[in-house]
Amino acid sequence: MGTHPYSHRKRLRPFQEGRYRKRGATTLVMYLLTLLFVWWYARSVLFGFSPSASAGSGAGQAPSSAQQPAQISPMDVVGIAGKPTCVTEFSIEKLNELLKPRLIHVFTPTESKCELFRGMASNVRCYTDGEVVPGVSKKTVEDALVSTFGAAYTDYVKKSGKKMTGWYLQQVSGVQPSRAPLSIAIQADRPPSSTRTGLSSSSITQFVKLGVSRYLGERLTENFLIWDLDMIMMKPMEAFTSDPTPRALVNVGGKINIHKGYELCYERLTNRTLEIAPDGTSYVTHSLSASKRHMEGLLREFEGEAGRDSWPWNIIRSIDPDYLGYGFSEYASYVSYMIQNHPDEVKVKRRRTWTRYPPGASLGVAALKLISPNHLCCPTDSFLKLVKPLGYEFMGFEIGHSSLCGYHDKAHEESYGLMKGV
């Protein structure tokens, strides 16, 4: 029997084989991402594709960024984040560079996390969750979900492994009449539906986005933009026109396949139909230009005859038990309210000008570990330059949605990948 020509080679040990397999998988992922980026870039060059340039300026449509007037200033920013990360850090940096807000108000669970946020920029003001909406906490929202839905909710938690308190609570941020220019509200690092955060946690985050301006009062400017803090601005952009009565610029392009629960809840709260964007997508677009006086009007409609500050509980009671995971949307509800009640104060963009993920989706987010100085899923200036030709106004980096990033690891419980020395 002859000797195999390669029989003299030393057999790899199991751990060595695993190492080479990982290297091979990484090489394959990077190869696929490179092909995807080349395709996107070629499309933008050869076919003139530019998401930001494709927004029209017809009746009821927003003009392109080149046509739009200078942004109203000064502006405030309101941010909601589970913890400080390299993504929220970079998002705040780019907001200050490209949007130049007056103040950035951040809401996060603990004072220790607030200290880290305050170190990111001199114009950051940070508050803990208990300072947002009186009477609304994870416990009170959790109790309301249990008492309203009973076994339907507890069974959902058991099957999905998550509660939704935090998600709904975060949607309570942004209301009360006031005389001031413009501000922005931010949400960040939302964990995926399969993670441990839960339905009750999700409820809290929604409620904070809807109600925070009512309780910040004069500390917050009249017009504001709710901005998910895991979105990073790629170029200067505007939230409102500079008309005598500023009109809110409304993004399109959100998911429509999870819309049914949003529709049922909004209809029960207002007796009206939830609006869908002209291109057939939703208005759940990770950013929202809003005004305190109009958000106040929306909350009062949600409150009905039940009295002031009853709206969080009315929302919970209006959620369809068959759609507990996607029972209410603050974005789609506010835009629908504006289109139906104040149509002359909104301009809807014709096409999507943003993207939720970098090329490669969640794998693209995880691939950032290969180029980030700290070997975590952290975007860098060099990466933003690489994807800038795609033409988007902002790009998302939802590191909580990729298990490869380790966002939920014990080692990153307090923060994740901060790189600016805060």
Is residue 233 within a helix (H) or strand (E), and if so which, with residue range? strand 231-233
**Secondary structure of 157-183 as H, E, C letters:** HHHHCCCEHHHHHEECCCCCCCCCCEE
Domain ranges of the chain: 75-137+160-253+284-291+339-355
What is the distance between the alpha carbons of residues 83 and 94, in angstroms, rounded to a whole number?
A: 18
Angle separating helix axes 311-318 and 292-303, nearest 10 degrees: 60
The answer to whether residue 76 scores a pLDDT higher than 50 is: yes
pLDDT band at 290 (very low <50, low <70, confident <90, very high): confident
pTM of the model: 0.77
Please name the residue that has the structure tokens 């109790």: 143
Answer yes or no: are the C-beta atoms of 84 and 120 closer than 8 Å. yes
**Amino acid residing at 77:** V
Higher-pLDDT residue of 389, 141: 389
**Number of Cβ atoms within 10 Å of the Cβ of 129:** 20
End-to-end CA distance of the chain: 67
Provide the percentage of residues in the chain whose pLDDT is more than 70: 71
Task: Average the pLDDT over 144-173 and give the result.
Answer: 72
pLDDT in the model for residue 59? 34
pLDDT band at 282 (very low <50, low <70, confident <90, very high): very high
Q: What is the pLDDT of residues 369-404, one digit of tens each?
A: 999 999 999 999 999 999 999 999 999 999 998 889
Task: Average the pLDDT over 134-141 and give the result.
Answer: 80
Query: From the CA atom positions of the chain, what is the Rg in Å?
Result: 23
What is the distance between the alpha carbons of residues 213 and 201, in angstroms, rounded to a whole number?
A: 20
Q: Pick from 101, 144, 138: which is nearest to 121 by CA?
A: 101
Most confident segment among 7-21, 195-209, 401-415: 401-415
pLDDT in the model for residue 190? 40
What is the distance between the alpha carbons of residues 221 and 177, in angstroms, rounded to a whole number?
A: 10
Task: Average the pLDDT over 266-283 and give the result.
Answer: 97
The answer to whether residue 150 scores a pLDDT higher than 60 is: yes
Tokens for 137?
Answer: 């906490």
